[in-house]
Amino acid sequence: MKWVFLFVFLIPFAQAFSCDQVGNRQFCEDVMQSGLNASEKNLLVSQAVSDRYEYPDHEIVKAWNTGLKFSQPPEGVSTLSSGSIRNAWLKIVSIIPSVMDSELLSPGKGEVLSALNYTISLPSGTASGDCKTTYQQTAVSNPVKVSLNDNPIGNSKLTSFETDKDMNFEVQIDIISDYSVSHYQWLTACCQKKRGVCTKKCTTCELHHTSQVQDRLTLADSTQAKYYAPLLKAEFKPIQQYSDTNEARLTLQNQTAFYVDYGDALFEKHFYFYRMNWTFPPYNVLQLQAVPSEYGKIENVNVAEVTNKSYRLTTKNNANCVLVTFSHFSSFADDCAKTFPVSNITIRTDKLDYVDNETIHVILQPNNTRLVVTYGTTSISALGNATFIAQFPYNRITAQMNGFTTEKLISIRKKETLAFFLNLSVFGGVLYSLHFAAKKFIGGPL
């Protein structure tokens, strides 16, 4: 199963990948230091991120994404500058939790994660007409405004939200840089006097005036997510109990996965597998993707699919039955250890093995009530007994009354199969006769 996971989890690889936040850090570092090529490293490092693919691992996505440190803009994100504000960028990088299933899905409750950065570079040099110019930062502010569907929800890079509608997230940042500019100009004044008369003039660079400058730059980004909170409908309906067998009908709606656990029996089915995608290189922001795929597990339970997501389950034990259903973001557990109505219908046949086209004699109980008896493609109403012509490969006889159903399994063989075994027995008899005759002729053991 591990190697299946590895091929499923193929994700883009960045040369600057860091193992700091990988769960299996030592394994990740060993891979990174190996002589494998980038594609092979990618394949193995993805294993170190998460070893779950049957269910979405939202916890590791949140831990990973919120632990990333952003400095330079991710690939494809442009920068803007204005005055002393340089290389500013802003990007919504993750909706937590979320799943990409044709479109980005969110349960309507979580957090929106934004990343941003900029630098402040004050002017330098001497302004025209000055003998000296100095610059001093007085204030820098960068208020963040996060809104959902045009309603303010917060002012931080990681902002919580809750809604029951489709989502349009908007993040805006106003970067304000305040600084002072001091202008110095040449001032000529008497610097030496004699008897009240200036005998020497000196020129010095003196502060003339100070001005205040404010640079402002506004950045904005937006992203959308589809509200996804399906009602998980699940009905486990006991049908009947006969002998030591329980029969139930399981009907489901909107599940991405489910399992029925009887303790000693299991029916598990998945309609998706989940893989991690890297986004916004070189930071490798994780995004869960749901990939449609049907797979599962059946142990010690007979499963017949009646319709899409409707199943007939037959098992020996129901005492510890638990039904668990899943969506992309939630799960629901229900006790399915229920009382089964007892069926008093029994089916017996004159024997268990039949040859194709042989007559099957069926004995029914109760014998004073009409039952609907079905074999192969034929259904009849019978009282006490019924007959059918054996047809290969049909091996199941069912009887129904008042919503109860009982079945009987028999063996059907083709005539050619029987003839083969008869010929084989004759051939064996001939060999035995030859062996016996040879033994007598030779007069000793062979």
pLDDT in tens, 214-243: 999 999 999 999 999 998 888 888 887 776
Verify that 222 and 245 share a domain, yes or no. no
Listed as own residue / partner, the contacts of 81-85 with beta carbons closer than 8 Å and 24 or more positions apart are 81/217, 82/215, 82/216, 82/217, 83/177, 83/213, 83/215, 83/217, 84/120, 84/121, 84/122, 84/123, 84/177, 84/179, 84/213, 84/215, 85/118, 85/119, 85/120, 85/175, 85/177, 85/215, 85/216, 85/217
**CA dihedral sign of residues 314, 315, 316, 318:** negative
DSSP 388-409: EE--TT--EEEEEETTEEEEEE
| Domain presence at residue 289 | yes
The answer to whether residues 39 and 90 belong to one domain is no
- Measure CA 349 to chain center: 50
How far apart are the C-alpha atoms of 202 and 204, rounded to whole Å? 7
Structure tokens at 49: 């991120």
Window from 83-97, 217-231, 324-338 with minimum mean pLDDT? 324-338
The answer to whether position 63 is within a domain reads: no
Closest CA to 164 of 147, 149, 146, 145: 149
Start-to-end CA distance of the chain, whole Å, equals 55
Confidence of residue 44 (pLDDT cuts 50, 70, 90): low
The pair of three-digit structure tokens given for residue 182, joined into one six-digit string = 């001091």
Q: What is residue 23's predicted lDDT score, i.e. its pLDDT?
A: 61
| Residue 251, token pair as written in the block | 């009907």
Same domain, 114 and 173: yes
* Cβ count within 10 A of residue 134: 15
Centre a 10 Å sphere on the Cβ of residue 62 and count the other Cβ atoms it contains. Answer: 18
Rounded CA separation 136/428 (Å): 110
Helix 25-32 and helix 38-49, axial crossing angle in degrees, nearest 10: 180
Q: Could you report the per-residue pLDDT of 144-167, keeping only the tens digit for each? A: 999 999 999 999 999 999 999 999
CATH number, position 261: 2.60.40
CATH number of domain containing 393: 2.60.40.10
Count of structural domains, the chain = 5
* 439 inside domain: yes
- Residue 365: pLDDT band (50, 70, 90) is confident
Query: Which pLDDT score is estimated for 272?
Result: 96
Structural domain ending residue among the three candidates 180, 197, 229: 229
**CA angle, residues 279, 230, 289, in degrees to nearest 5:** 20
pLDDT at 442: 44
99 and 203 fall within a common domain: yes
Question: Which of these three, 209, 229, 249, is where a domain ends?
Answer: 229
- Do residue 77 and residue 118 come from a single domain? yes
CB 188 within 8 A of CB 130: no
Indicate whether 58 belongs to any domain: no
The distance of Cα 28 from the centroid of its chain, to the nearest Å, equals: 23
Q: With bands split at pLDDT 50, 70 and 90, how would you rate the model's confidence at 295? A: very high
The phi, psi pair for 396, rounded to 5°, reads -125, 130
- Enclosing H/E stretch for 419: helix 415-442
pLDDT band at 195; cut points 50, 70, 90: confident
**Cα separation of 281 and 16, whole Å?**
9
Both tokens of 262, joined, read 């009887």
Per-residue pLDDT tens over the stretch 97-135: 999 999 999 999 999 999 999 999 999 999 999 999 999
**Residue type at 212?**
Q
Is residue 341 one of the residues assigned to a domain?
no
More confident residue, 218 or 431: 218
* 149 and 244 part of one domain: no
Query: Residue 323 and residue 250: Cα distance in Å, rounded?
Result: 10
Q: Examine the domain organization and report whether 225 and 187 are in the same domain.
A: yes
Same domain as 381, residue 311 = no
Q: How many residues does the chain have?
A: 446
Q: Is pLDDT of 363 > 80?
A: yes
Q: Is residue 30 part of a domain?
A: yes
The single-letter code of the amino acid at 4 is: V
**Residue listed under structure tokens 């399981």:** 250
| In-domain check, residue 57 | no
User: Which pLDDT tens digit goes with each residue over 248-280?
Assistant: 889 999 999 999 999 889 999 999 999 888 889
| Same domain membership, residue 385 and residue 257 | no
**Is the confidence at residue 75, as pLDDT, over 50?**
yes
Q: Which DSSP symbol is given to 11? A: -
- Last residue within a domain, chosen from 335, 355, 389: 335
Please write the tens of the pLDDT for every residue from 383-395: 999 999 999 999 9
Domain that holds residue 360: 346-413
Q: Coil, strand, or helix at residue 371?
A: strand
Amino acid at 350: D
Do 80 and 220 sit in the same domain of this protein? yes
- On whether both 88 and 237 belong to a single domain, the answer is no
Model confidence, pTM: 0.68
Q: What percent of the chain has pLDDT over 90?
A: 58
Query: Does 62 fall in a domain?
Result: no
Q: Which residues are CB-neighbours of 79 under 8 A, at least 6 positions away? A: 73, 87, 88, 89
Same domain, 272 and 359: no
